[in-house]
Amino acid sequence: MLIRQHDREGYDMRLSVLDQAPITKGNTAAKALINAEQLALVAEKLGYHRMWMAEHHNTDAYASSAPEISVAHLAAKTKKMRIGTGGVMLMHYSPLKLAEVFKTLSAYSPGRIDFGVGRAPGGDSYSIYALSEGRQPMLHNMYEKLETALALMNDEMPEDKLYEKTIATPYDIVLPEAWLLGSTGNSAMEAGNLGVGYSFAQFFNGDLTKVIVDTYRDNFKPSPFMEKPEIIVSYMVTVAETKEEAEYEAKPHDIARLLLQQGKMIQTMTPEEAKDYPLTEMDKMIIEENRKLHLVGSAKEIADKLQEEQAYYGFDEAMICSIPHSQEKRLDVYRLLAEQLL
């Protein structure tokens, strides 16, 4: 495969927000959702292009379990920023239900809704079976489910016999943008074939390559949901006025990721707690290795890094997820990046 060089110097990079509604230690789930609303209002004023809510189940670390409900609320609270899901998890829901939910959202907020979907479970095996009411989850047909949902959303009759005599209401509305979340070349190819946007989770495995970007672009077919290929790359970011302060605020997330790799999901602790948290030499090595998934530094350093990556890969938009312990510090991350890049 020919790998194209992407010269995007001087190209404006959009910034957007990915929020998981983190429940940091000492705070509540209700407060996490209020914080999401506050973040949306601040991000819109700063010039962020869109905000997506994630889907997580069976955890006390994140409050975003029903992102489509949060989308309805945030779209009503904001005026121009795009609002969507990053993403709603395909395996748990009927294509008809997905189509009708997002058509309804788009009817209320035309031209501002994003239908972002992912193939991950968003939770553990207990939540997977609870959401499927004990039935064996269907994991082999998710691209077909997405194709069916898109057809129903576009007021078409899908080829699937189960849905061929069913319309998705409301009918004849402004379509949402459609996005497929992924972290592999296969998902990039499928996103292109379906004619939807592609959102790569760089904070998940750090494996973005030019081949993946070109695979998506080379396979892209224009659709009612997307006229031209669009790529978002999602990053986990902690910035502050200085690198030293950013390191201090980032350590709780570093420890949370370390423990997650050991099978323990915890609420993000305070930086004061993290400062004295006992770490073995092996722990410190793993945290250092994980830094390829977590950009930490001054706002200028990280802004330069994002611009370098955009010039190299040729993506259109950087989506920022940030989980400092305090809401004040989290809002500072988005403010400082906006000052550098918007």
Domains of the chain, earliest start first: 14-237+312-341 (3.20.20.30)
Provide φ and ψ at 339, rounded to 5°.
-60, -30
Q: What is the pLDDT of residue 4?
A: 34
Q: What is the pLDDT of residue 160?
A: 83
Q: Please list the residues that pair with 96 across neighbouring strands.
A: none
pTM higher than 0.85 for the full model? yes
Residue type at 84 in one-letter notation: G
Provide φ and ψ at 6, rounded to 5°.
-110, 100
Exposed / middle / buried, residue 32 (Cβ in 10 Å: 0-12, 13-18, 19+): buried
Q: What is the pLDDT of residue 101?
A: 98
Q: What is the pLDDT along the chain (342 residues), one digit of tens a residue?
A: 333 334 434 458 999 999 999 999 999 999 999 999 999 999 999 999 999 999 999 999 999 999 999 999 999 999 999 999 999 999 889 999 999 999 999 999 999 999 999 988 787 788 877 877 778 777 778 899 999 999 999 999 888 889 888 999 999 999 999 999 998 889 999 999 999 999 999 998 889 999 999 999 999 999 999 999 999 999 999 999 999 999 999 999 999 999 999 989 899 999 999 999 999 999 999 999 999 999 999 999 999 999 999 999 999 999 999 999 999 999 999 999 999 999
Q: What is the pLDDT of residue 8?
A: 39
